[in-house]
Amino acid sequence: MKRPFRPIRAAVLCLTLGVGCTADPLEPRTERAQAEDAIDAWIGRHPDGWAGAARSADAPTRPSWTPACSDPASPGYVSLRLDGPGGEIELAFRCPLDERATVEQLQTQFVRAVPWDLPTGIRSPNWRFQTLLTVASIYDGVTFHTPSPGLLAVDINSTMRGVMGTSTRCPGTAVAYDSLPDACVVLREHRVRMQMRYTVPAVLTALR
């Protein structure tokens, strides 16, 4: 089966998957068909758009490669990472910005967001799924809120390009998913508007 489109997003090009599916007597082709059905059903339930939400109990962290704004080595921007079971989002901000930042200051200093592995809720035996976006970095449509005391919410309004499923029977080295065997990957194009809210503790000590 010809795949409907090729990847364009660096953030989803590399996955922790193997270059080939391991031999197994449990009919991986049947599992792939089930994965296709699961994606098609999900698309059928979201014909015009998709709204998702994820929550993490972990406070934002600062990647080791991005110094704090107060560091003399700072290049003039700083990044925060929101990471949890619901996916990962990296947020870049202009300096100055520190741990006392308000949502208004986060909004003013915001530069871009790079989301990975946004959850879809799709389930199928021995397969995992994620949305594909039309761009690698999102510069517009990202807003910050305080839904309740002690919480920080990041809303992303963008366009999704499709859905990808990958077989967990294909462990190993990170590779470009378009080089995986057909038995290991399912792609479906579905270009619709997407709304995603990621909620984390409003603890910004990583900006020290």
pLDDT digits (tens, 9 = 90+) for 30-60: 899 999 999 999 999 999 999 988 889 999 9
- Residue 11 CA to residue 33 CA, distance in Å, equals 26
Q: How far apart are alpha carbons 105 and 107 in whole angstroms?
A: 5
pLDDT at position 173 is 39
Q: Tell me the mean pLDDT in the region 106-112.
A: 98
Whose CA is closest to 143, among 135, 151, 152, 131?
A: 152
Instruction: Tell me which of 10-19, 82-91, 141-150 is least confident.
Output: 10-19
| Ranges of each domain in the chain | 10-207
Cα–Cα distance between 158 and 132 in angstroms, integer? 11
Measured CA distances, 17 to 37, 78, 100, 171, 180 (Å): 22, 30, 40, 5, 9
pLDDT at 25 over 90: no
Running DSSP on this structure, what letter comes out for residue 126?
A: T
Task: Look up the pTM and report it.
Answer: 0.78
For residue 177, what pLDDT band results from cuts at 50, 70 and 90? low
